[in-house]
Homo-oligomer: A and B are copies of this chain.
Amino acid sequence: MKENYPSKLLENAVEAIRTLPGVGKNSALRLAMHILKQPAENIHHLTSAINSLRDEVRYCRECMMIADGDICSVCSDPKRDHRTICVVENVRDVISIEKTGQYNGVYHVLGGVISPIDGIGPSDISIMELVNRVGRIVSQPDDEETLSSSVQSVPEVIFALRGDVEGETTSFYIYRQIANFGIRVSSLARGLGFGDNLEYADELTLGRSIVNRQIFRP
């Protein structure tokens, strides 16, 4: 009975499941026991969904988001505003913003933020692709999507990156690359959350909330 497991099959499965983030030895064993109790077809469905995700995943050639084809569902949607680009770190951020239902533009997924400590420089994330993309939008103002709208909107890049040093650095780095295009550049509002109590807010957030206070419209 090697390593206390009664079966090599069980041991292999537990060791493999343990490699997942946030899954310890005991959770892995519990998951393995759960797997043993499920109908085989359910487990085959699970493993083939995982394999398909890993093997067949593609990334949108426009915004680098996960896609089922050459181009993602957002970039191929004619109803979205293709001249407003929201810059995010990863796909989970896209999903979070989509959930709000408040955004009708398109995205650009950087795949990370500039972080010298982690050895991630500007060329390791898709900044060049973003700059080229903005360049294309600016130089072709009368492309297919915008011909239909009578008023030509000003292109906009919205930074929706983390509020920490790496996020701010990345926003600033990109800003310098696109400032000359004469487009609008904005970043997410930061301040107290809805329902937040002033007493428990951190100083930085509360300070920013005061500096960036907004006109009261009752």
A residues adjacent to B (C-beta < 8 A): 1, 4-10, 12-13, 15-17, 19-22, 27, 29-36, 38, 40, 42-57, 65-68, 72-74, 77, 90-92, 94-95, 98-99
Contact = CB atoms under 8 A, between A and B. Distances in A.
B53 A13 contact: yes
B45 A16 contact: yes
B95 A8 contact: no
A140 B92 CA distance: 65
Given A43-B51, A47-B50, 16 more contacts: A1-B77, A9-B56, A10-B57, A10-B66, A13-B50, A20-B31, A20-B34, A20-B46, A21-B34, A22-B30, A29-B95, A30-B92, A33-B91, A35-B53, A36-B57, A40-B54
A42 B10 CA distance: 17
B9 A53 contact: yes
In the complex, the count of this chain's copies comes to: 2
A182 B48 CA distance: 53
Contacts of A44: 51, 54
Nearest to A9: B53
A7 B66 CA distance: 6
A120 to B, nearest CB: 14
A41 to B, nearest CB: 10
B31 A68 contact: no
Nearest to A109: B6
Nearest to A52: B9
A1 B96 CA distance: 13
B50 A16 contact: yes
B67 A98 contact: no
Contacts of A35: 50, 53-54
Contacts of A32: 53
A14 to B, nearest CB: 9
